[in-house]
Structure 1
Amino acid sequence: MSLLTVNGLGKSFGGVRAVDGISFDVAAGELLALIGPNGAGKSTTFNMVNGQIRPDTGSIALAGRELAGLKPRQIWQLGVGRTFQIAETFSSLTVVENVQMALISHDRRLFSMWRRAADHRRAEALALLEQVGMAAQADRPCSVLAYGDVKRVELAIAMANQPKLLLMDEPTAGMAPKERNELMALTKRLVVERGMAVLFTEHSMDVVFAYADRMIVLARGRLIAEGRPAEIRDHPKVQEVYFGSGKTFEKKAPLQNPSTREVA
């Protein structure tokens, strides 16, 4: 059963049709990759689902609840988490304090000098950090962490509102191959354990083909292909859009030290 249902989504900027009537769905427990060349409409689609851009046409429903027209914070409160291409954390705060801030936001609580925010739901914050393998570094400032560890903290922050749907914008951008593999394996485990749905954009085709359950491909604002990775790999329209005729995606063993080759 679909958790997220997008139907007839469209958006224009001036005379340019950035997204042209696309439809797709994501089921609980599924990782759906949204890919396409530069200018395909990926970011516009992603930001409409997240509420940063209001669609001109179409609907975006989360478990039957319409999201189109809501603000990002309202969508977050309904159970949609998000990570960003460039990890967003408070570098001056400790790892656990970053997660606590997300919990405070979710609880809509205000704190005064007599009610220390640092005490708020520390146990829950530590439990989230344990799930992403960062509990041992809970009291370190985020400013001293390796980038791969910052990405793990961001994932814990995104999980603070117990999301039904997780939106991941270029989750492995800037990461070494080993870190990419570890982060996506962790994400896949959390998806299965929590029954979440994940919609993610990604330029690394190695990551996409190794971890996505299904893929949708955009070109010039239109959906040109959807299916399982094996189906998309050999899809003639996808090959033409990415490479022109006569070339194919390289077939590599999944989950094994993805290369650093990127497809823009």
Structure 2
Amino acid sequence: MSLLHVQNLGKSFGGVKAVDGISFTLAKGELLALIGPNGAGKSTTFNMVNGQLKADQGSITLDGTELVGKKPREIWRLGVGRTFQIAETFSSLTVVENVQMALLSHDAKLFAMWRRASDHKRDEALALLDQVGMKSQADRPCSVLAYGDVKRVELAIAMANDPKLLLMDEPTAGMAPKERNSLMALTKQLVIDRGMAVLFTEHSMDVVFAYADRMIVLARGRLIAEGKPLEIRDHPKVQEVYFGSGKTFEKKAA
């Protein structure tokens, strides 16, 4: 059963249609890759699902609840988590404190007078860090972590609201190949264990083809193809948009 329904979604900036009437669904327990060349409309689509941009037309429903018109915080409280292309953590805080901050926010206590914020749901924060392989570094400042580890902390933060849907914007940007595969394998396992859905954008095609269950492809704001990775790999429109005629993803990677 589908968790996310996007129907006839559109957004224009001036006279330019950044997203032009796209529709797709995403099921629980599924990793869906949203790909396309620069300017395809990927970020605009992401920002509409997340509530940072309001759609000009169409509908976005999560478990039957309409998201269009809701603020990002409202959408977050409905069970939508997000990670960013550039990892966002508080470098002056420890790893566990970063996750505790997210848990405080989820409990609507972020701006209340803290009795001792460092005590708030520490065990729950440690459990989240354990799921992403960062429990052993819980008391280290984020400022001293390797970038791949910061990405894991960000993932733990994104799960603080127990998301039904996780949006991942370029999750492996800036990472070495080994780190990329480690993070995406972890994400895949979390999807299986938690039954959540993941929508992610990614420029690294090796990551997309290795881990996505399905793919949707945008070009100039329009959806030009959708299907399983092998179907997309051989899709003539996708090949043309990415590489022009006569080239393939395999040759590109080589």
**Letter in structure 1 aligned against 2:118:** A
Shift of 1:251: 7.6
Deviations 1:220-262 (A, max 9, x none): 100000000000000000000000000011189xxxxxx7x8x
**Which residue of 2 is the match for residue 14 of structure 1?**
14
**Which residue of 2 is the match for residue 112 of structure 1?**
113
**Which residue of 2 is the match for residue 188 of structure 1?**
188
**Which residue of 1 is the match for residue 143 of structure 2?**
143
TM-score between both structures, scaled by the size of structure 1: 0.94
Confirm or deny that 1:161 pairs with 2:148: no
**Which residue of 2 is the match for residue 177 of structure 1?**
177
> Which whole-Å CA distance do the structure 2 matches of 1:44 and 1:81 have between them?
17
Deviations 1:129-157 (A, max 9, x none): 00000000000000000000000000000
**Which residue of 2 is the match for residue 203 of structure 1?**
203
> Which whole-Å CA distance do the structure 2 matches of 1:5 and 1:222 have between them?
17
Deviations 1:6-61 (A, max 9, x none): 00000000000110000001000000000000010001001000000000000000
**Letter in structure 2 aligned against 1:81:** G
> Which whole-Å CA distance do the structure 2 matches of 1:241 and 1:201 have between them?
17
> Which whole-Å CA distance do the structure 2 matches of 1:64 and 1:112 have between them?
36
SS state at 1:250 partner: helix
> Which whole-Å CA distance do the structure 2 matches of 1:27 and 1:71 have between them?
23
**Which residue of 1 is the match for residue 50 of structure 2?**
50
Runs of 4+ displaced beyond 2 Å = 110-113
TM-score between both structures, scaled by the size of structure 2: 0.98
**Which residue of 2 is the match for residue 97 of structure 1?**
97
> Which whole-Å CA distance do the structure 1 matches of 2:126 and 2:141 have between them?
15
Distance 1:127 1:59, change over 3 A: same
> Which whole-Å CA distance do the structure 2 matches of 1:197 and 1:251 have between them?
31
SS state at 1:208 partner: helix
Tell me if the contact between 1:111 and 1:117 (Cα under 8 Å) persists in the aligned partners. Answer: no
Deviations 1:84-135 (A, max 9, x none): 000000000000000000000000014426x011100000000000000000
**Which residue of 2 is the match for residue 230 of structure 1?**
230
SS state at 1:40 partner: coil
**Which residue of 2 is the match for residue 63 of structure 1?**
63
> Which whole-Å CA distance do the structure 2 matches of 1:36 and 1:197 have between them?
20
**Which residue of 2 is the match for residue 41 of structure 1?**
41
> Which whole-Å CA distance do the structure 2 matches of 1:22 and 1:249 have between them?
24
**Which residue of 2 is the match for residue 25 of structure 1?**
25
Gaps of 5+ in 2: none
> Which whole-Å CA distance do the structure 2 matches of 1:197 and 1:130 have between them?
20
> Which whole-Å CA distance do the structure 1 matches of 2:86 and 2:42 have between them?
17
> Which whole-Å CA distance do the structure 2 matches of 1:47 and 1:68 have between them?
11
Identity among equivalent positions (%) equals: 84
Tell me if the contact between 1:51 and 1:69 (Cα under 8 Å) persists in the aligned partners. Answer: yes
**Letter in structure 2 aligned against 1:2:** S
Gaps of 5+ in 1: 253-258
Length, aligned pairs only: 253
**Letter in structure 2 aligned against 1:112:** M
SS state at 1:199 partner: strand
SS state at 1:22 partner: strand
Tell me if the contact between 1:30 and 1:198 (Cα under 8 Å) persists in the aligned partners. Answer: yes
**Which residue of 2 is the match for residue 212 of structure 1?**
212
> Which whole-Å CA distance do the structure 1 matches of 2:176 and 2:18 have between them?
32
**Letter in structure 1 aligned against 2:178:** K
SS state at 2:61 partner: strand
